[in-house]
Structure 1
Amino acid sequence: MASFQLGDVPHGFAYNEDGNIIHYKHVILLATPTANESGTWGGEWLSFGSDWADARLRVAAHDGTSWVWVKHIDVVAANSRAVVQLPPGTQKVSIGREKKTAGDFVDNSPVGWLLEIK
């Protein structure tokens, strides 16, 4: 049976254009439900959508021991959802807005996330 969680990416830049942290108060951390369901789920997908303006996100996955990957995802308002499959064993996900350039100032456009577990 599929399971869903959804919410909004916080306003404010968490990372500069080089991927370095500006402030962690603009990061959201999701605990993923499959961590305790070994072998019974078919995968986890994280989707993002935006409106009014494009946004770049820095998304990182943690497997319980270390951060196993970091993606820089461009969420384009005119396109469909941006979708990534999380690595097996993901226990938590960190999501924050990242500046596209030093002059990027659009840090408050609506961006939503959807975590889908099958």
Structure 2
Amino acid sequence: FVSLIVSLFQLDLEMSFTTPDAVMSLIEQLIQFCWPFTDDNICIPFQRMSYSDAIQHYGTDKPDLRSDLRLKSIDLNQINGSSDKSCLTLVVSQQKSEVNQKLHNFMNSIEVTKRVMNF
């Protein structure tokens, strides 16, 4: 029986005359060094994107990058919903929190499957 004690830590960095890239690089190396309890190697540098790219392509500033579901601009003046088969209409009748929870559960199930099947 192993007892795990979960602790939260805060790391304060004091760096003079640095750049955002230097800070992110240092944190990436620190995370890579401190994450020995997984079989997966943590590859650095981490994927980065600008705020505007995240909003434009994913509609949020914290996109879930486990699957590449990007937003696509559609000109509504050029779509005939009754005859255009490239247009899919989806009506969501549930609350936003319920939809978010179902998406979160689905994405987690993909991660579990990948781990079990050694992807």
Question: The TM-score by the shorter chain falls in which range?
Answer: under 0.3
Question: Which structure's residues are more often helix, by fraction?
Answer: 2
Query: Under a length normalisation based on structure 2, what TM-score does the superposition of the two structures give?
Result: 0.21
Query: Under a length normalisation based on structure 1, what TM-score does the superposition of the two structures give?
Result: 0.21
Question: Which structure's residues are more often strand, by fraction?
Answer: 1
Higher relative contact order (CA 8 A, sep 6+): 1
